[in-house]
Structure 1
Amino acid sequence: MRYDLVIHLALLLHILFETVLGHYGFFLILCRVHDSLQNVELIYSIYYDKTELLRFNSTENKVVAYTEYAMKWADDFNKNPELLHKEAEKNIADCKRFGEQFLPMVEKSVKPEVVVRSVRQASGKSPAMLICSAYDFYPKPIKLTWMRDDKEMTADVTSTEELADGDWYYQIHSHLEYFPKPGEKISCVVEHASSHRPMIYHWDSSLSESDRNKMITGAAGMVLGVIMAAGGLIYYKRKHTAHII
């Protein structure tokens, strides 16, 4: 698997360049890891007031100036390429040690959590709609397919792209519009690197959405009734005990 991991090894060091007039600068180190920790590219950059002045790339072992003011600095640095290479090797070693903490996270596969549910019932000429949602999976590539009685459905299917959660994981949603038939079997098939075989999730059409809601409401009412009864019993016992005392 190919990956390109960028590690921000050095944070903003504005204290070294900050002035009383509000001007500031910072020194930034980037570690680019290509394919493996044996192939690490190091980039130094010096900024001042949001302008990049100098950049060093370990692949070229050369400092490049981006402003006329910084050209003399670049020339001075490039007069001693052995020192540049030596300093770069030290930081590359730090990059490798730091990268070892992240590579297991990058390389692992995380199985998605999949939910199939109804979002609309059929009414007249309007079809019903199901949604198959896959959450918290990694890596990004994934395929969702709808099956109806073991035949793939391609019409009336719309899907989102893989959506980044912002924490290395992704989610995706696929919608199916259809007119229900008695005894049919509808499934959402998920193919992902976290599983060696397709993962199949069946839609239980034995209960309509309204029936499900009624069951949930009834169960909630039963629980609430038990809680109220228990509270009344506790109150009665406390009051009865107080009268005896």
Structure 2
Amino acid sequence: MGRSLLLVLVLVQTAAGFMTHELFRCHFNSSELQDIHYSYSYIYNKVEFIQFDSRVGSFVGLNSFGEKLAARWNNGTGWLNVSKTYREEICQPNAELWYRLVLDRSVAPSVTLSTVVPPTGGPSSMLTCSVYGFFPKQIRVTWMRNGQEVTSDVTSTTELPDGAWLYQIHSSLEFKPRSGEKISCMVEHLSLEEPLTIDWTPPPGKPMPESEKIKIAFGVLGLILGLVLSLTGFIYYKKKAGALPPILSMN
């Protein structure tokens, strides 16, 4: 996962109702010097009029006054030479510090599954996968049903602050419990060598959904009806053939 960071130092001065800002910026996507550039801006009453960028190597005026000032600063040796050293002397040490203490830091998440049954007692339930205490922020949470990714009936939050530079995220799946199916929450994160998979286990003693009860009732009813019809046909056949056993005789 790529990372980039911007460090900004702002100096503010006010005098007689006028305000000036000086912005010192370090842009970097690694701690290597070639991946860092430094920029400086001078702003007067919210108007930026001169800028230095290490990729250009000189001051650039952004209005008529800035152009005059840039010409003077570029022809001198003091401020221009100092600005050229800031990328190596200020930006690179700070980039190394941030990568060591923050950007390269990783904390593995903890995962819990919880089930919410609708108060109406309907056939659907809500299964929530809660992921806590991970860093960095980038993470992927996926629902699996019998080994296949589920993309419908899924809602997820964004990554939320969890305190101490950590994050949390929650993903919910609306589903109808079916006998024999396997539902899992799979979490992929930089801190994990392989995806973390948590399987859902139905609570003990949970009542069977009404839809399943109806299916079983119709199945049993059909079985009984089939047996009755088979027995009736057998009796009728034997009676017509004159070989009806005494115990089944109706006389």
TM-score, scaled relative to structure 1: 0.71
Separation in 2, partners of 1:138, 1:7: 20
Name the structure 1 match of 2:19: 24
1:174 to 171, 175, 193: 171
Structure-2 change in CA distance of 1:165 and 1:80 (3 Å): farther
Corresponding position of 1:187: 184
Q: What is the CA distance between 1:13 and its match in structure 2?
A: 3.3
Paired residue for 1:218?
A: none
One-letter identity of the residue aligned with 1:37: E
SS at structure 2 position matched to 1:174? strand
CA shift, 1:166, in A, is 8.6
Q: Is the 8 A contact 1:122 1:128 kept in 2?
A: no
User: Quick check: 1:54–1:64 contact (8 Å CA) kept in 2?
Assistant: yes
After superposition, the Cα gap between the structure-2 partners of 1:52 and 1:167, relative to the gap in structure 1 and judged at 3 Å, is: farther
Contact 2:37 2:87 in 1 (8 A): no
- TM-score, length of structure 2 as denominator length: 0.69
Aligned partner letter, 1:31: C
Q: Which residue in 1 is equivalent to 2:72?
A: 76
1:117-156, Cα deviation, whole Å (9 max, x unpaired): 1233485545111111223323343222222344433332
Q: Which runs of 5+ in 2 are unaligned?
A: 207-251
Structure 2 match to 1:45: 41
Report the residue type matching 2:27 in the other structure. Answer: R
Among candidates 55, 59, 64, match of residue 55 of structure 2: 59
- What per-residue deviation string (whole Å, max 9, x for no partner) do you get for residues 9-32 of structure 1? x33232xxx213x21112111011
- What is the one-letter code of the residue matched to 1:36? S
Map Cα deviations across residues 196-226 of structure 1 (whole Å, 9 max, x no partner).
11101233422589xxxxxxxxxxxxxxxxx
* Contact kept in structure 2, 1:144 and 1:174, CA below 8 Å: yes
In the TM superposition, residue 184 of structure 1 has moved relative to its aligned partner by 4.5
Q: In 2, Cα distance between the equivalents of 1:148 and 1:177? A: 12
Q: Amino acid of the residue matched to residue 74 of structure 2?
A: N
Which aligned pairs between 1:1-245 and structure 2 lie closer than 5 A? 2-8=2-8, 10-14=9-13, 18-20=14-16, 22-39=17-34, 40-80=36-76, 84-90=80-86, 92-104=88-100, 105-121=102-118, 123=120, 125=122, 127-163=124-160, 168-182=165-179, 184-207=181-204
- In 2, Cα distance between equivalents of 1:33 and 1:52: 23
The DSSP-based 3-state class of the residue aligned with 1:194 is coil
RMSD: 3.0
Rg: which structure is higher?
2
In structure 1, runs of 5+ residues without a counterpart are 210-245
Contact 1:61 1:85 in 2 (8 A): no
Q: 1:158 to 1:205 in 2, by over 3 A?
A: same
